[in-house]
Structure 1
Amino acid sequence: MSVHFTREHEWISVDGMVGTIGITDYAQKQLGDVVFVELPEIGASVRQGEQAGVVESVKAASEVYAPASGIVTEVNEGLADSPGLVNEDAGGAGWFFKITIADPAELAALLDGKSYQDYLGTLE
């Protein structure tokens, strides 16, 4: 299993051809208390870099972009009742949706953990 990151602060955990997608801990801290998450429909096609959902906090609404292209196979139903899971565990229980990855080669355009941490260092 490998984890990749976008410069827009999404992560994708890859296990074979399945990608689990969420926002990073940095993103949830910037947003503040998450109050609503809009997720894509199961069966929807998402494209790398395009909007796939929305996360709303007490401060702002922010688009969630797909880190890779694919078909949505599962959404985190728990976020409907408990959007705060994103704040509590952004990299785990607060995941947003899962896809079947269409083109694994797209992952090469993403950042690894160290590169993402280095990128965060440029934002402060």
Structure 2
Amino acid sequence: MAVATDALSRTFAALADPTRRDILRRLESGALSVTELAAPYRMSRPAVSQHVTVLEEAGLITRSASAQYRPCHLHPEGMEEASVWIAQHSAAWGQRFDRLDEHLRRTAPGEERNA
């Protein structure tokens, strides 16, 4: 199976992991270094760094450099394309479910039919 490399696929792949979603949640409060991000997890700092790299490549976070300190920052704009995609598909599925609901109401046994 080929790995998709478009931005939307990278975003969803990054969000698929619960550790990465937790990192994003923690960055909502402000910038943190990889060392600070790694503190609550039972994994190595290099493993957390790999998660951070995936998030950065997906455009969900940015890193800046200030001497030895390289804080990670949440980049909410990176979620915009995924949000639009979800909203579009959510609306389409909502319409389909509404049509199904109406059909089931019209065809339910014992109900008057509007034919």
Q: Which has the higher strand share?
A: 1
Higher RCO (C-alpha under 8 Å, 6+ residues apart): 1
Give the TM-score normalised by the residue count of structure 1: 0.24
Give the TM-score normalised by the residue count of structure 2: 0.25
Larger Rg: 2
